[in-house]
């Protein structure tokens, strides 16, 4: 969801072009091995006959069913996180209608076939990959205003963020949205959804007014505050893949008004500046949204003596405070040669300045929530000590602070399934690498460094929880970290709609 700021736009463009050639070769190799990954994963113990695939193809009337020998199969099934790219599906059902989704559910139940659901493929922990049937929702795309409503927009379940943004621009509306245009709107919304508007409008899931989904029994149901209200509550932060396959979302939108956008850089006294930012910006008005990056250079950059860099990206809606007033004591310390401020820019033009264009590579992200009052000088010093110890890989990494608070904290932790209320910052630390240029040993060292950094900083700052839209396969007690006091109620909803755990993955909610 939020990778590019750790790399820089120019470096990312360069890496993308290099990577494109590698992916082309990898795709060609995959096509020479139809079904090889599925056979390896299943040890040859289960393989549906050709007639079963024919039956599925006939049932998926609004789309198509692809097998490994089909053109572009490898391109469609490749996830954004290449850690999970070796797990290829036995087939891909490209669904165009809710009826196609129902047909897939019926088919996987009859054949006891493992499956996963995907739109954007950006699941950090690879939960949208499978050796069985990949239910691809990307053909089910669209975003249209709801007739007769005041600003409601209906988004189909396979829509990517880029489509949502274009339609919102046409309508002169906006929501809480992210910066990565290739992320699937479904996964983004179901796990909460963060963005620079969240302090003004709330989490993206706070704007969800209804959703439709296919449940484990094959029903296509609508859930809102009046109908299937428990399921509606669970879909507002309970994370994707737990309760069914969502085929549409109805969202409350807001007028898209001009904003000021900025990318500010500091190159000196970084610990002092970071402490001031984390302390002073916590009191910023709700109209202000920001994300702080401390970028640690790659080994190539270290050879060229590239230093750590502290930057902040964000936007300011119309406010009674100026940026200079909001930044207070850090304003005069900005490196003005490397910084940009664009004032009073039309909203969607401003988002072009903030947008993130991602490409597939290898990564793991760990997250937690912090209160500004708990981030002391000792914790800040530890962060920079750990940054200096990073066993550099071929890609830069960053530790980051997404600014929360504002409208998010005016919703109670149990009012929706998104429980993480009452904090000032969503903290995360990355580990990134680019095979085959990084050795297995170096990757293991980088992941160990990430875990120790995370544990130490969490202890020093009393950080809690973890963001369910940044799923972390190495996270201990992920149930409590993602869902906190809402876990028991989510388990009850799971029991009501999917008691047999048809929808399952390594971090799936279990029935009560």
Q: What is the pLDDT of residue 16?
A: 28
For residue 431, give the CATH number of its domain: 3.40.462.20
DSSP string, 453-471: HHHHHHHHHT-B---TTS-
- Considering the domain architecture, whether residues 455 and 306 belong to the same structural domain is answered as yes
Sign of the dihedral defined by the CA atoms of residues 302, 305, 306, 307, in that order? positive
- Considering the domain architecture, whether residues 168 and 118 belong to the same structural domain is answered as no
Q: How far lies 99's CA from each of 45, 59, 190, 219, in Å? A: 30, 9, 21, 10
- Considering the domain architecture, whether residues 263 and 251 belong to the same structural domain is answered as no
- Considering the domain architecture, whether residues 240 and 325 belong to the same structural domain is answered as no
Q: How far lies 81's CA from each of 117, 453, 480, in Å? A: 15, 22, 25
- Considering the domain architecture, whether residues 263 and 282 belong to the same structural domain is answered as yes
- Considering the domain architecture, whether residues 184 and 284 belong to the same structural domain is answered as no
Q: What is the pLDDT of residue 358?
A: 84
Last residue of a domain, one of 102, 136, 170: 136
Angle between helices 161-171 and 347-354 (to 10 degrees): 160
Across the chain, which has 512 residues, the per-10-residue mean pLDDT values are 35 31 35 33 61 98 96 93 95 98 98 96 96 97 94 98 96 97 96 98 98 98 98 98 98 98 98 98 98 97 95 98 97 97 98 93 98 98 98 96 98 98 98 94 97 98 98 97 98 98 98 96
Domain assignment present for 506:
no
Distance CA 199, CA 176 (A): 9
Give the tokens for residue 363.
């990564």
Domain assignment present for 509:
no
- Considering the domain architecture, whether residues 300 and 389 belong to the same structural domain is answered as yes
Domain that holds residue 330: 259-473
- Considering the domain architecture, whether residues 85 and 192 belong to the same structural domain is answered as no
Q: How far lies 382's CA from each of 18, 389, 401, in Å? A: 35, 11, 15
Give the containing element (helix H, strand E) for 323: helix 323-327
* Count of the separate structural domains present in the chain: 3
- Considering the domain architecture, whether residues 269 and 392 belong to the same structural domain is answered as yes
- Considering the domain architecture, whether residues 160 and 174 belong to the same structural domain is answered as yes
DSSP string, 470-502: S--TT-TTHHHHHHGGGHHHHHHHHHHH-TT-S
Domain assignment present for 67:
yes
Strand partners, 365: 430
Q: What is the pLDDT of residue 319?
A: 98
Cβ count near 17 (within 10 Å) = 10
Q: How far lies 335's CA from each of 250, 252, 309, in Å? A: 43, 39, 11
- Considering the domain architecture, whether residues 56 and 181 belong to the same structural domain is answered as no
Strand partners, 153: 145, 251
Q: What is the pLDDT of residue 46?
A: 58
């Amino acid at each position: 969801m939020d990778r590019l700021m750790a790399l820089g736009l120019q470096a990312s463009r360069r890496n993308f072009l290099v990577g494109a050639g590698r992916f082309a070769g990898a795709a060609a190799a995959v096509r020479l091995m139809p079904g090889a990954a599925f056979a390896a994963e299943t040890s040859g113990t289960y393989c549906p006959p050709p007639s079963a695939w024919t039956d599925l193809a006939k049932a998926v009337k609004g789309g198509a069913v692809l097998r490994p020998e089909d053109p572009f199969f490898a391109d469609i099934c490749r996830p954004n996180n290449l850690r999970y790219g070796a797990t290829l599906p036995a087939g891909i059902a490209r669904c165009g209608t809710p009826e196609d989704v129902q047909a897939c559910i019926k088919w996987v139940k009859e054949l006891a076939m493992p499956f996963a659901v995907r739109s954007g493929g950006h699941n950090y922990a690879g939960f949208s990959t499978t050796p069985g049937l990949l239910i691809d929702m990307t053909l089910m795309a669209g975003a249209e205003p709801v007739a007769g409503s005041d600003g409601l927009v209906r988004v189909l379940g396979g829509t990517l963020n880029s489509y949502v943004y274009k339609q919102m621009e046409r309508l002169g509306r906006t929501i809480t949205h992210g910066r990565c245009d290739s992320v699937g709107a479904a996964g983004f919304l179901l796990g909460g959804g963060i963005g620079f508007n969240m302090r003004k409008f709330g989490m993206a899931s706070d704007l969800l007014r209804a959703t439709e989904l296919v449940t484990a029994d094959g029903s296509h149901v609508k859930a809102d505050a009046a109908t299937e209200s428990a399921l509606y509550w669970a879909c507002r932060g309970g994370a994707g893949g737990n309760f069914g396959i969502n085929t549409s979302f109805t969202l409350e939108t807001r007028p898209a008004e001009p904003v000021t956008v900025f990318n500010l850089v500091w190159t000196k006294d970084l610990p002092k500046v970071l402490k001031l930012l984390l302390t002073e910006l916590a009191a910023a008005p709700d109209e202000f949204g920001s994300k702080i990056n401390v970028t640690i250079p790659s080994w190539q950059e270290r050879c060229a003596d590239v230093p750590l860099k502290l930057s902040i990206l964000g936007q300011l809606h119309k406010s009674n405070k100026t940026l200079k007033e909001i930044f207070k004591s850090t304003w005069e310390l900005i490196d003005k040669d490397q910084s940009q401020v664009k004032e009073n820019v039309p909203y969607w033009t401003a988002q072009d300045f903030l947008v993130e264009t991602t490409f597939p590579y290898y990564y793991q992200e760990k997250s937690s929530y912090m209160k500004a009052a708990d981030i002391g000088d000792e914790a800040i010093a530890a962060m920079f000590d750990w940054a200096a110890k990073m066993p550099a890989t071929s890609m830069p990494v960053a530790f980051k602070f997404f600014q929360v608070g504002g409208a998010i904290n005016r919703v109670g932790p149990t009012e929706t399934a998104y429980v993480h209320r009452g904090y000032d910052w969503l903290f995360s630390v990355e580990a990134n690498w680019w095979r085959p240029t990084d050795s297995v040993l170096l990757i293991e060292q980088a992941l160990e460094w990430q875990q120790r950094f995370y544990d130490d900083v969490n202890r020093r700052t009393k950080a809690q929880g973890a963001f369910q839209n940044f799923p972390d396969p190495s996270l201990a007690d992920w149930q409590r970290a993602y869902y906190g006091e809402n876990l028991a109620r989510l388990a009850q909803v799971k029991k009501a709609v999917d008691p047999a755990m048809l929808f399952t993955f390594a971090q799936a909610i279990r029935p009560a």
